[in-house]
Amino acid sequence: MIPFIDLTQQYNELKAELEPVLLSVCRQGQYIMGSAVADFEEKIADYLNVEYAVSCGNGTDALTMLLEAMEIGVGDQVITTPFTFFSTAEAIARVGATPVFADIDEKTFNIDSHKAEAALSPRTKAILPVHLFGNPADMDAIQCLAQTHGLKVVEDACQAIGARYQGRPIGSLGHGAAFSFFPTKNLGCFGDGGLMTTNDPQLAAKLRSLRMHGSSGNQKYINERLGYNSRLDTLQAAILQVKLAHLDRWNNRRRKLAAYYTEKLCGFDLIPQQETPQAESVYHLYAVKTERRDRQLQLLKDRGIASGIYYPIPLHLQKAFAYLGYQKGDFPVAEALAEKILALPLFPELTSAQQDQVIDCLKSCKFQ
Ligand SMILES: *Cc1c(COP(=O)(O)O)cnc(C)c1O
């Protein structure tokens, strides 16, 4: 049996480091906004090379609060990719704005900046690129577009913590960025968790207020705006502080495993997601495009190897977004990818022997 991801191995590896930290939070009793939260925010701001890091309840709230803090709402349009996790566009719709999709690039699987440009309208307020599967989006072109048209750039960096674009950490490139610490993300906690980053002091102050019912935090029970109840638990912050010190090592291992898959699978009509020369992916997922997905999926399953389809339905074809009026055929690159994409097991603890089993299985499929 080869799992798609196995979180217990990582826990066992870090047990001796994590358990005393967890116990100490339990014993101190400051379960909400305890000292570990500010400590973690400081460390991660440093790691991401941003001025401000504001933690929150999850990645979806991070996106929603960023948009709201930028005063994006009813009547506004936000351009994004249809090939992403649902919550990217859900957040746009939650603040009352309209998600406007632009098709993806067939090599990087990220938003195509030319298509984004074609989707501009007088109502466009922001572009929301996703660094899909850890692979940085085409940020130069996106920033250029944003500057020319006076738009905000919000990075959905939920899958890409530690990734770099032109040597700079993603999450430091736009006006704001959202991260998720959902357990299976490259940096995951033991439940839900999220983070917002920015270099804008006013935006940061607003985000701190929004996550706590619109209260500045200096004075309790004084609320200057409507907000959310969306904070990172002290316990999760303490866990994340421990795990952050290991992130680069884990991401490097992911990159090594990905390079090995690519080397061994090339020539077997499996086309992996590609990095541009500016981008350094952290391979949240290792995804390939394959013409024979159903057969390969079955074969992997027969041999006890887990795999996944991310994502089977592009967002413009989801029932929840039917009101936007899109139709099949509107985004042919995303639609074709949804039919052909397959993600292979990839997590830092995956052994070389396990990886060879996955590779052998896929290679044998060619000749059947
Ligand atoms: C995980 C994820 C989110 C949302 O994060 P949650 O913490 O689960 O709310 C948003 N966008 C992308 C691309 C994600 O992968």
Both tokens of 239, joined, read: 């866990």
How many Å apart are CA 365 and CA 54, to the nearest integer?
Answer: 47
CA of 180 to the centre of ligand 1 (A): 6
Question: Model-level pTM?
Answer: 0.97
Q: Is the CB of 59 under 6 A from ligand 1?
A: yes
Q: How many CB atoms lie within 10 A of CB 40?
A: 24
CA of 99 to the centre of ligand 1 (A): 16
Parallel/antiparallel/unpaired status of strands 176-180 and 194-198: antiparallel
Q: Which atom of ligand 1 is nearest to the CA of 185?
A: 1
Confirm if 262 and 331 have CB atoms less than 8 A apart: no
User: pLDDT at residue 367 above 60?
Assistant: no
Q: Which atom of ligand 1 is nearest to the CA of 60?
A: 9
Q: Is the CB of 232 under 6 A from ligand 1?
A: no
Query: Count of residues for the chain?
Result: 368
CA proximity to 74, closest of 123, 128, 117: 123
State the DSSP string of 297-320: HHHHHHTTB--B-S-SS-GGGSGG
**Coil, helix or strand for 21?**
helix
Place of tokens 């351009």: 79
Q: Is the CB of 169 under 6 A from ligand 1?
A: no
When the pLDDT of each residue in the chain is averaged and rounded to a whole number, the result is 96
User: pLDDT at residue 216 above 90?
Assistant: no
For 288-328, what is each residue's pLDDT tens digit? 999 999 999 999 999 999 999 999 999 999 999 999 999 99
Which residue has the CA at smallest separation from atom 2 of ligand 1? 158
Place of tokens 């098709």: 103
Q: Is the CB of 64 under 6 A from ligand 1?
A: no
* Distant-in-sequence, close-in-space partners of 15: CB < 8 Å, separation ≥ 6: none
For 173-202, what is each residue's pLDDT tens digit? 999 999 999 999 999 999 999 999 999 999
For 57-112, what is each residue's pLDDT tens digit? 999 999 999 999 999 999 999 999 999 999 999 999 999 999 999 999 999 999 99
Rounded to 5 degrees, what are φ and ψ at 84?
-160, 175
Q: Give me the pLDDT at residue 119, please.
A: 98
Residue 118 — pLDDT band, cuts 50, 70, 90? very high
Q: Which atom of ligand 1 is nearest to the CA of 180?
A: 7
